[in-house]
Copies of this chain bind each other. A is one copy, B any other.
Amino acid sequence: MSGPLAYLSRKYHFAASHRLHVDALSPERNREVFGKCNNPFGHGHNYIVQVTFAGRVDASTGMVTNLADLDDFAETRLIHAFDHRNLNTLACFRDAVPSTENLCLEVWRIFLEYPHATLKCVRVEETNNNAFEYFGEAPPTLHAA
């Protein structure tokens, strides 16, 4: 409750493949909706995940949270699960299209369990030109920690 409220953003990188396809739709409709992302056998990306946490700056250490702790958490929970994987084969995408929007929501669920700071935003960049963000479903106050 003491120090000023600051935000920490950290980027993680992984490479994965996916194919956008919905079994319930016809091949024609899949092609129409997903275009080249529906190509058989899939394609891939170098994904960049940015997680943003809010926290009070600790008066003694000058930190919002210890980056070493956050990196350990990310290594175990994010990188190990997604890096060099085919997203379509993962349990979390059994019933959901592995779109980058849904990947963003899944990464949110993972980092929401990080115990040392308050998750505020997950951003996933699929290419240099497009990115997706999720801020959770809480009321739109950026400052409540």
Chain A interface (Cβ < 8 Å from any Cβ of B)? 4-13, 15-18, 20, 22, 24-25, 33-37, 39-46, 52, 57, 60-64, 66-68, 83-86, 88-89, 96-99, 101-102, 104-105, 127-135, 137, 139-144
- A sample of 10 inter-chain contacts (CB < 8 A) reads A5-B137, A9-B131, A17-B86, A18-B44, A22-B61, A25-B60, A34-B61, A62-B97, A62-B98, A67-B130
Separation of A62 and B96 alpha carbons in the complex (Å):
7
Q: Which of B9, B17, B101 contacts A64 (CB 8 A)?
A: B101
Separation of A13 and B12 alpha carbons in the complex (Å):
15
Q: How many copies does the complex hold?
A: 6
Closest partner residue, chain B, to A60 (CB atom): B22
